[in-house]
């Protein structure tokens, strides 16, 4: 019961923070609602972006990954997060500069100006489809942990409504500014709590080294890494998952929304370049907690392993402190849900409704975005009702699907010969291949190396083929008026300074 009280309190505090951050929200402009009036400074930017990606995947999913698959999970994180900040800055510095000049508010805006309206709408719909598994993973993680920590007082299905209700409430009320402040404070909170839990878990068996030795004695397979032949993690498997996560992170709505919301170019640079290091440092803790969990709560299988974060907290800490530790995982999930739901709601209202009805007033756009927040949340809760895929795998499916938009984004900013036809075809082919691989071979085909795909997983094969389609399609088609006109803006000499 203590856990329920603490988590309810955190939800209420989040709603209050959103209200304070955007207390005059009903009289603010669309710019203020969607991109916080481009007013966010270093601290809020860094911790808001950190919190919007450190999710149920990072806390519950990575601890489950560590529990089930061992040390190879850390190699995935390293290969993903070390280059991520630099890749983000390389791509999204133009998002910031052009977004500030052109008053962009959504991730579809650069695609629309570079390739035209059809590309803008395709992009919005693809990102929405790719986001759903990731949002579902967060909501699923929330439900699983609420049931475990409340000892059944709140069932899994009741938990699916409990926290998402509060998330929808403060998103609808506070917009980007409210979401960013909530994220920042939640980011600080769960960063502290994961280190506290790490300390208690490792001290349960005498420290980090004795704990790892105990796990190795019982589960030596969790420490195996190699090319193939009985290894839990093969190098192609590590590379495939890391590539999907890294490229997918670049293409999700959060970096766009934070680039538009940054107060200065220096703040943007600090946010992106510091993200990878901070994120790697923090996510390593849940992964090691999961590995250590094999010596504390043995025998969990499949989606049951998603509970390991809360179970080891309950087994190693006083009840009240365990509740706070798990609440840290909840705030991570909450912050990611609000970032993705809000980004997609903004995309749908500005990039679809505004295009279909140009006469729509800014105040009406805000109302429409709030309605989309509620609709997206309701759909994801419905899908999460019957969980059959662990949180970590669901999240990587989302990253891999959205990663196929990378070529169109890179081409918009850095390749003058890119065409709308090449961009649209590459995205549609990439998404269709992902879906085909999933239905043909299930999650194993899209997540793990396949002999039929030259030891690539389905996502990486889809990504490579999408890239080939992008370049060939662009070379074989002639840039239209929109692409030719956009060159003066997207390749202006001032952007290279």
CA distances from 6 to 11, 13, 224, 327 (A): 9, 10, 39, 7
Residue 345 inside a domain? The answer is yes
Instruction: Select the more confidently predicted residue: 363 or 149.
Output: 363
- Is it the case that residue 410 has pLDDT exceeding 90? yes
Residue 221 inside a domain? The answer is yes
The domain spanning residue 158 has which CATH number? 1.20.1730.10
Query: Mean pLDDT for the chain?
Result: 80
Q: How many residues are recorded in the chain? A: 497
Burial (Cβ within 10 Å: 0-12, 13-18, ≥19) of residue 379: middle
- Give pLDDT, residue 40: 65
- Is it the case that residue 35 has pLDDT exceeding 60? no
Residue 462 inside a domain? The answer is no
CB atoms within 10 A of CB 217: 9
Contact (Cβ atoms closer than 8 angstroms) between residue 289 and residue 197: yes
pLDDT tens digit sequence for 207-250: 999 999 999 988 888 887 766 555 667 777 777 778 877 888 88
- Is it the case that residue 114 has pLDDT exceeding 90? yes
Q: Residue 338 is part of which domain span? A: 2-406
| CA 365/CA 352 separation, integer angstroms | 11
| CA 30/CA 320 separation, integer angstroms | 42
Token pair of 56, please?
Answer: 């149920």
Residue 487 inside a domain? The answer is no
Whether the CA torsion 389, 333, 337, 244 is positive or negative: it is negative
Token pair of 267, please?
Answer: 């703040």
Residue 424 inside a domain? The answer is no
Token look-up 């170019």 returns 265
| CA 251/CA 408 separation, integer angstroms | 10
Residue 468 inside a domain? The answer is no
* SS3 label, residue 225: strand
Strand partners, 450: 456
Residue 177 inside a domain? The answer is yes
- Quick one: pLDDT band at residue 27, thresholds 50, 70, 90? very low
| CA 439/CA 114 separation, integer angstroms | 33
Domain total in the chain = 1
DSSP per residue, 445-456: HHHS-BGGGTTB
Residue 490 inside a domain? The answer is no
Going by the DSSP 8-state scheme, the letter that residue 40 receives in this structure is: B
pTM score of the predicted model: 0.80
φ, ψ dihedrals at 28, nearest 5°: -80, 165
Considering only CA atoms, which of 141, 127, 132 is closest in space to residue 383? 132
């Amino acid at each position: 019961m203590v856990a329920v009280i603490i988590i309810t309190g955190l939800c209420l505090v989040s709603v209050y923070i959103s209200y304070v951050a955007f207390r005059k929200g009903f009289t603010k402009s669309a710019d203020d609602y969607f991109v916080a009036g481009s007013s966010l400074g270093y601290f809020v930017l860094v911790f808001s972006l950190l919190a919007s990606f450190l999710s149920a995947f990072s806390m519950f999913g990575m601890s489950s990954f560590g529990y089930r698959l061992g040390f190879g999970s850390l190699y995935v994180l390293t290969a993903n997060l070390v280059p991520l900040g630099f890749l983000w800055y390389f791509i999204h510095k133009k998002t910031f500069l052009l977004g500030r000049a052109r008053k962009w508010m959504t991730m579809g805006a650069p695609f629309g100006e570079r390739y035209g309206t059809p590309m803008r709408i395709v992009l919005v719909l693809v990102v929405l489809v790719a986001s759903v598994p990731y949002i579902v993973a967060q909501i699923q993680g929330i439900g699983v942990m609420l049931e475990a920590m409340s000892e059944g007082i709140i069932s899994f299905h009741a938990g699916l409504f409990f926290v998402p209700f509060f998330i929808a409430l403060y998103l609808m009320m506070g917009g980007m500014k409210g979401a960013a402040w909530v994220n920042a404070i939640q980011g600080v909170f769960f960063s502290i709590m994961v280190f506290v839990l790490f300390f208690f878990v490792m001290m349960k068996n005498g420290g980090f080294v004795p704990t790892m030795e105990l796990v190795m004695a019982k589960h030596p397979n969790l420490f195996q890494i190699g090319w193939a032949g009985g290894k839990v993690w093969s190098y192609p498997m590590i590379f495939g998952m890391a590539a999907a996560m890294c490229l997918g992170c670049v293409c999700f709505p959060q970096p766009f929304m934070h680039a538009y919301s940054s107060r200065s170019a220096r703040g943007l640079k600090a946010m992106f370049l510091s993200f990878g290091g901070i994120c790697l440092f923090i996510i390593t803790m849940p992964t090691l907690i999961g590995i250590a969990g094999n010596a504390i709560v043995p025998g969990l299988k499949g989606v049951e392993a998603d509970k390991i974060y809360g179970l080891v907290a309950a087994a190693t800490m006083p009840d009240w402190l365990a509740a706070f530790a798990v609440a840290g995982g909840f705030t991570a999930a909450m912050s990611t849900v609000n970032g993705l739901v809000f980004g997609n709601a903004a995309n749908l209202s500005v990039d679809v409704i505004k295009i279909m009805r140009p006469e729509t007033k800014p105040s009406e756009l805000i109302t429409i975005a709030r309605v989309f927040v509620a609709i997206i949340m309701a759909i994801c809760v419905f899908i999460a009702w019957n969980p059959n895929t662990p949180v970590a795998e669901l999240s990587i499916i989302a990253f891999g699907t959205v990663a196929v938009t990378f070529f169109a984004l890179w081409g918009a900013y850095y390749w003058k010969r890119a065409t709308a036809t090449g961009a649209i075809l590459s995205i549609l082919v990439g998404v269709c291949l992902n879906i085909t691989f999933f239905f043909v071979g299930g999650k194993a085909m899209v997540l793990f190396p396949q002999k039929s795909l030259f030891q690539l997983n389905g996502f990486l094969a889809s990504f490579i083929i999408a890239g080939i389609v992008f370049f060939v399609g662009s070379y074989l088609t002639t840039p239209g008026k929109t692409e030719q006109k956009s060159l003066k803006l997207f390749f202006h000499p001032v952007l290279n300074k």
